Structure formats: C-alpha cells, structure tokens
C-alpha cells in the first residue's frame, strides 16, 4: 500500500476530513457503442466555462479500464459539451453552463468538477540580447551545474521532453536525427517550427551539441521529444492541455520533462495528474516563476514537481526569481546564452532558463545511474545541491544549486538509496476509533506535525457506507481544495 508523501520541514498543521457521499437515485442509462467516439473541440464560449470533470473508479471498475464512452454519456446527459479526454486520468474536459454544472454535481459517479485554469509561457525577466559566438563557448551555467564534469557519449541513455513553443529543427547546434515531436493541439502549429524562440532556447540549454560551434548544453545531443503547447505568439493554454502534453511526453518515450511555464491558480486535477506521472516513473521539472515575490506558480508548486529558482553568474539569487516553501533546487537563469531561431543565439533571463539546467542534470545523472528510479535520482540531486543562502533548505534556493557530478558520485558511493543518517523523528502512531457521520457531512481533525517529519500515512478502514479521506496542508480541506486524497471507492483508504 502506498504512502502519501509531503514536503514537511517546519512545524505544520495537517487537517484530515472524512466525508460520506450520497447515493443518487438517477444515473444515465448507457447504450452500447459500435463505433469509436470522436471528441471534437468545440468553439469556446468563454474561458470561465471550461471545466475538468473527474470520475470515480466505480465508473469503470478500475483505474486501468476507464471508459470514455460512459463518461461521455454522463456529459451528454447533463447537456455538457465534451472537448477531450485526459487519458489515464479518469477525467474529461468539457464546457459547462450552469445547468450542466449542477446536473453533473448530482451524479454520484462524478468525483470532482473544477475550472480548467490557464497556463502561460513565463515572461522573460529582461529583453533578449543577440549573441554571435565565433567559436564554441561554454555558457557559465554548464560549469556551474557541473555538466562539463560528467560527460556522456550515449545520447540515447535518457530522453528529455520539452513542453514549450516549439523547436528550431535544423539549427546547426541542436540535435536533429534523434528528435521527435508533436503539436499539443491543432491551434499551435507544427512542433518543429518555433516562431517565438522560447522553446528553442530552453532546448539548447539541455541539449546543444558539443560540436565546436555556438554553445553547448548540459547533456549535449541527448534524445529530445518536443511538445509544442504554445503558438508562435506564446498564447496561453490550459492546465488540461498541459496534462495531455505530459502524456504526449510519456508516449514519446521521455523520462524527464521540462516545463518552463506556469500560472497562479491551483488545480486538484492537474496536481493529481502530475503525481500519477511521477508515480509512473517520470521526473517533472518546472520554473518557479518570475514575479520576484513569494507567490506560487503551478505546476512548479505541486509536491510531485521539482520547482526551480534562478541564480546569477555569481551564484546569488536572481531578483526576479519567486521564492516560497515549494522551491526545491536552483539553477542558472540570468543572462543565459543558448540557441534561438532561426539558427542564431540569444541571451535570455528567467526561471524558464534555470529549469532546463535542472532537467538536463536530472537526465544526465540518471543516464549514468539507470539502476536508480526517478525518486532516487531526485533525492540525490537534493542531497548534493550546493547550499546557498541560509544553511539547509530555504525558500530562495531550495536545497541549493544542482550539481551533476556530485549527485552521480553520491550514488556511486552510497547506492540508489543514499547514505548517511536518515534523521527524522520518532514514529508516532494514533487512531480515532468508532467515527460516525451523517450523509453528506464532514468530520474534521487537525494534527500538529513535529519538525523533521518527511513521511506520514493516514488510513480509514471498516464500517459501512462510503467515506472519503481528504488531507490538506495548513488549511481545512473541502471537495475541491486538498493536498491529496485517495481515489478509491468504499471505506478502505490510505
């Protein structure tokens, strides 16, 4: 049975809620389908009426057999306009008016409904400057993260996916034959064209060739998969499109995903999807944001995602870099030289530039230590990061500036499980027996978590009815706002 993991390092409050759901009398009557359902994108009514509708496992008898036809029948019965399915996530994206929204909320097989928030290309921290290298030069960031100290000739040992504005295929300093890609949707154009430049710059930091010209990347020539999610104008997209983009990365064979993008609104469906991808073995990396404040950007601020802050060439915090308790690692992000369309080079600044340094290091370290899983690679990066700012992890640098060779050496010395004193606190066990609640009612419990706790498990078991477990860090949960919850039917939940 899996254990829910939290990023807990200070005295915190955790709230637990058990809720009973009513069994509704009326549900759609399903008809057999003899041909494949076709989900076509409808014309948008407005941004505010696009929702992510998540269904319970009981809709199909199991997570691995979710049936889009049944989900569609629910949506059609409610008068909704389906847009597409979030494959592997037990969810559909649809346009809902007030009537269809309320109707779906009355179906017991519908687990949650929430607005589909927007996601953006993060704006550059300052204007781009063209550079004209006369020979190959190594950007300062590559040496800062020790990319040059961990050479890897096997470019196919890992594959990195870049979700961004596209890729300048044919750039003389970027991989060509070992690059695949796809457009996230028909509105963004071809993946191998980048009229914006942001995606090509990010890709160069990860993978620019070591070929005696231009620049060089953290993991030169590594296999890439490109998902173009933004058009050439950098037009915003939706969280649901981002979830589909990561699925496209997975389908393309990528193990590491870079997301130099974000938005300010939390989405429980997006959060769950990110965790599912990580549980499936992927490493997800995202930019912390360029607001220069303590606000949180998503997807970077989900526990499953490595949130990357930015530092300058002198290893000090970039003034634009957002800081908060979700920042995990730091990377070079100020005045970073990299590839740019068409067949040129630019110096750009932003956490968008810091994130690919970390993604590249994750892939590079993993390529040398393929016996380790994604979580072990992540732990090694955190354990060996170059500490900056306040001693230990802090909100500005996270664990520190990522270090490729140090992380690989750490694994060589200690194995995938790591080494040293695991620390932590004395385990504490407790129970609340004989819980009771009314149908549709909530019962709240609060625990003060001691400093140093890294993992905890919460379980409900026994009794009759259908109680659901919701947990939220430092705030009271409800059906739409929670840190985590199991996706199970019945009373056996953890």
Please state, in angstroms and rounded to a whole number, the distance separating the CA atoms of residues 409 and 150.
10
- Closest C-alpha to 268, from 119, 375, 117: 117
User: Which residues, at least 6 apart from 78, have a Cβ–Cβ distance to it below 8 Å?
Assistant: 96, 99, 100, 103, 104, 107
Half-sphere exposure of 22 (CA within 13 A, CB side): 11
Q: What is the DSSP letter of 30?
A: P
Handedness of CA 304, 305, 306, 308 (dihedral sign): negative
Active-site residue identified among 109, 173, 194, 198: 198
Q: Is 198 a catalytic residue?
A: yes
Closest CA to 305 of 290, 287, 329, 286: 286
Bond before 299 cis per omega within 30 degrees:
yes
Under 8 Å between Cβ of 408 and 369: yes
Identify the bridge partners of residue 223 per DSSP, sorted by sequence position: 159
Catalytically annotated residue among 260, 352, 355, 367: 352
Output the 3-class SS for 233-288: CCCCEEHHHHHHHHHHHHHCCCCEEEECEEECCCCHHHHHHHHHHHHCCCEEEEEC
Looking up tokens 């600044």 gives 349
Q: Quick one: which of 359, 426, 56 has its CA closest to 202?
A: 359
Q: Distance (Å, rounded) from C-alpha 162 to C-alpha 356?
A: 9
Which one is catalytic: 111, 164, 394, 466?
A: 164
Rounded Cα distance between 490 and 121, Å, is: 41
Catalytic machinery residues: 164, 198, 352
């Amino acid at each position: 049975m899996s254990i829910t993991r939290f990023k807990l390092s200070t005295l915190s409050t955790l709230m637990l809620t058990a809720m009973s759901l009513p069994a509704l009398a009326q549900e759609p009557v399903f008809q057999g389908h003899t041909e494949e359902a076709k989900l076509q994108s409808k014309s948008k009514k407005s941004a505010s009426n696009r929702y992510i509708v998540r269904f319970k496992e009981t809709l199909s008898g199991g997570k691995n057999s979710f049936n889009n036809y049944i989900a569609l029948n629910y949506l059609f019965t409610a008068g909704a306009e389906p847009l597409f399915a979030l494959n592997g996530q037990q969810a559909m994206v649809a346009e809902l008016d007030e009537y269809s929204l309320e109707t779906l909320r009355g179906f017991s097989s519908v687990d949650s409904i929430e607005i589909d928030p927007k996601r953006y290309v993060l704006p550059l921290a300052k204007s781009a400057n063209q550079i004209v290298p006369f020979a190959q030069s190594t950007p300062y960031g590559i040496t800062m993260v020790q990319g040059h100290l961990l050479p890897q000739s096997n470019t196919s040992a890992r594959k990195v996916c870049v979700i961004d504005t596209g890729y300048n295929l044919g750039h003389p300093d970027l991989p060509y034959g070992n690059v695949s890609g796809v457009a996230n949707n028909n509105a963004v154009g071809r993946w191998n064209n980048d009229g914006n430049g942001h995606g090509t710059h990010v890709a160069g930091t990860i993978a620019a060739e070591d070929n005696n010209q231009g620049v060089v990347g953290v993991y030169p020539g590594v296999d890439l998969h490109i998902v173009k999610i933004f058009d050439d104008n950098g037009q915003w997209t939706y969280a649901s499109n981002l979830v589909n983009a990561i699925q496209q990365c997975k389908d393309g064979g990528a193990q590491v995903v870079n997301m130099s993008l974000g938005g300010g609104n939390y989405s429980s469906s997006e959060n769950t999807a990110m965790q599912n991808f990580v549980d499936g073995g992927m490493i997800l990396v995202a930019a912390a944001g360029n607001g220069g404040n303590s606000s949180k950007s998503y997807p970077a601020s989900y526990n499953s995602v490595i949130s990357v802050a930015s530092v300058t060439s002198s290893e000090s915090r970039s003034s634009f870099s957002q800081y908060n308790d979700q920042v995990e690692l730091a990377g070079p992000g100020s005045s970073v030289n990299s590839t740019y369309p068409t067949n040129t080079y630019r110096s750009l600044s932003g956490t968008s530039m810091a994130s690919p340094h970390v993604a590249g290091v994750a892939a590079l370290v993993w390529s040398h230590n393929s016996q380790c899983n994604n979580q072990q690679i992540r732990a090694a990066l955190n354990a060996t990061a170059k500490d900056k700012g306040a001693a230990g992890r802090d909100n500005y640098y996270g664990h520190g500036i990522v270090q490729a060779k140090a992380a690989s050496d750490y694994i060589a010395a200690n194995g995938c499980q790591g080494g040293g004193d695991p620390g932590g606190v004395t385990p504490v066990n407790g129970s609340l027996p004989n819980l009771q609640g009314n149908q549709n009612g909530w019962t709240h419990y609060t625990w003060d978590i001691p400093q140093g706790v890294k993992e905890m498990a919460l379980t409900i078991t026994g009794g009759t009815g259908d109680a659901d477990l919701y947990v939220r860090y430092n705030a009271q949960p409800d059906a739409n706002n929670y840190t985590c919850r199991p996706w199970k039917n019945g009373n056996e939940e953890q």
